Structure 1
């Protein structure tokens, strides 16, 4: 492995934590004997172009500093290559770091873990989801949760997470079941009415909501969590349990496992790693060992 490491930084992540996090992460890598170059990018597209160029140029690793959005960009650059991915999670959600068991909002500790893993060649291959050429590491969301995202993204006020809290209240007021067509591993088409369907390579989304609590990113399968036709009161009962993963035992919740998932529903946008993928229908495939990660 070359001793040059590329730090892939989102300076605005976590309301500015990304810019401050780059320095201790870089210091930990340099202390381990690596040389570090930093790439920023003028916008997401430019940042991804620069990251892909670094991977093609033979960088020893790409270390993403930011939140799940930055991790998602980094995945597009390294997936399908043998270039290791490191993660210094300092964003708002940080669900990919949680999937990997890495520190959250502790850039010095995360930098040391990445440095030690790279220096000791302690790398592991994990699965990723793939939808229309876009890779994801955590959860593909569709339904009530993605409608909350849609509404929140249209709102200019308030800022931060409160925007999505208000969006959730608005969506609860208009809650109604969604007719889905769900196909698992090219099996029969299942016509169901559900509140949401979440396809998990990792266990959580939304900053620690363990919607696919038992998902294992090394087993070659998605966990597909289906929350059935719920009333508002039932959903308000089920949703707080998502943070501990205990919602999976609720009678309105079922879990399937599959390597390929086809989702169809009218008027629903799919989101993966918090980023919009586009309107359903969408087909997600679990690709075994798609990315090499440096971590625990």
Structure 2
């Protein structure tokens, strides 16, 4: 493996934490004997083009510095290759790094974890989801949660998480069940009324909300969490339990396991790793060992 690695950086991640994290991680990696080349772009498309070029040129690893959005972008460059991916979590949610047991918001520790894994060839292959040609590491969300994202993304005020808190209140006021058409592993299409459907390669989204609490990125299967039709009172009772993963025991919630899911509903956007995939219908497949991770 070449000693030159590429640091793929979102300087704005975590309200500026990304730039500071990149400096800290780069110092640790250089102290470990690696030559570090920083990859930046003028925007997501340009950044991805540069990351793919680094992978094609034979970089020893692509190390993404930022949050789940940066990890998602990095996956588009390394998935399906043997180039290791390292993560220096410096965003708001960091759900992919959390699922992989990587240090959170400690760039020096994350840098040491990546350096140690590369030096000792402690690399592991983990599953990814793929939908419409886009790779994802955590959860494909649809329904109530994706509508909160839709509304929050349209809002220009306020800034930060408060925007999405207000969007959630507005969507609660407009809550109604959605008619989904779901097919698992090529089976018969089932029509269900649901509040949301989440397809998990890993367990959490939104900064630790364990919507697919039992999901394992090494078993070749998605955990599909269906929150059935319910009213505001029920949803407000179930919602706080998502952080502990105990919502799965509620009668309105069901969990299914599948390697492939076809998902359709009118007027619903799919989001994966917090990034918009586009309107349903979508077909997602779990791809075993699609990315090589440098970490514990």
Q: TM-score range by the shorter chain?
A: over 0.9
SS class of match (1:270): strand
Question: Which residue of the partner structure matches residue 53 of structure 2?
Answer: 53
Question: In 2, distance between residues paired with 1:72 and 1:25?
Answer: 19
Q: TM-score, normalised by structure 2?
A: 0.99
Instruction: Report the secondary structure of 2:121's partner residue.
Output: coil
Q: For 2:31 and 2:116, locate their aligned partners in 1 and report how far apart those are by CA, in whole Å.
A: 10
Q: How far has the Cα of 1:31 moved from its partner?
A: 1.5
User: What residue ranges of structure 2 are gaps of 5+ in the alignment?
Assistant: none
Shift of 1:103: 1.2
Following the alignment from structure 1 to structure 2, what is the Cα–Cα distance between the partners of residues 273 and 225? 16
By how many angstroms is 1:48 displaced? 0.2
| Aligned twin of 1:237 | 237
| Distance in structure 1 (CA, Å) of the matches to 2:103 and 2:173 | 37
**CA offset digits 1:119-148 (Å, max 9, x no partner):** 100000000000111000000000000000
1:222 aligns with 2:222: yes
C-alpha RMSD of matched pairs (Å): 0.5
Q: In structure 2, how many angstroms separate the alpha carbons of the residues matched to 1:119 and 1:26? A: 15
Unaligned segments of structure 1, at least 5 residues? none
Counterparts of 1:237 and 1:292 in 2: how far apart (Å)?
Answer: 39
Deviation at 1:23, TM superposition (A): 1.0
Counterpart of 1:142? 142
Alpha-carbon distance in structure 2 between the residues aligned to 1:114 and 1:71 = 14
Q: Which residue of 2 aligns with 1:164?
A: 164
Alignment-derived partner of residue 269 in structure 2: 269
Looking at structure 1, the residues matched to 98 and 196 of structure 2 have their Cα atoms a distance apart, in angstroms, of 22
Partner SS, residue 51 of structure 1:
helix
d(CA) in 2 for partners of 1:90 and 1:133?
A: 26
In structure 1, distance between residues paired with 2:109 and 2:266: 44
Structure 2 equivalent of residue 133 of structure 1: 133
Q: What is the rounded CA distance, in whole Å, between the counterparts of 1:21 and 1:273 in structure 2? A: 21
Residue matched to 1:175: 175
**Cα distance, 1:168 vs. partner?**
0.2
Counterpart Cα distance in 1 of 2:40 and 2:114: 19
CA deviation profile, 1:56-77 (whole Å, cap 9, x unmatched)? 0000000000011100000000
- Residue deviations 1:229-286, cap 9 Å, x none? 1110000000000001010111111000000000000000000000000000000000
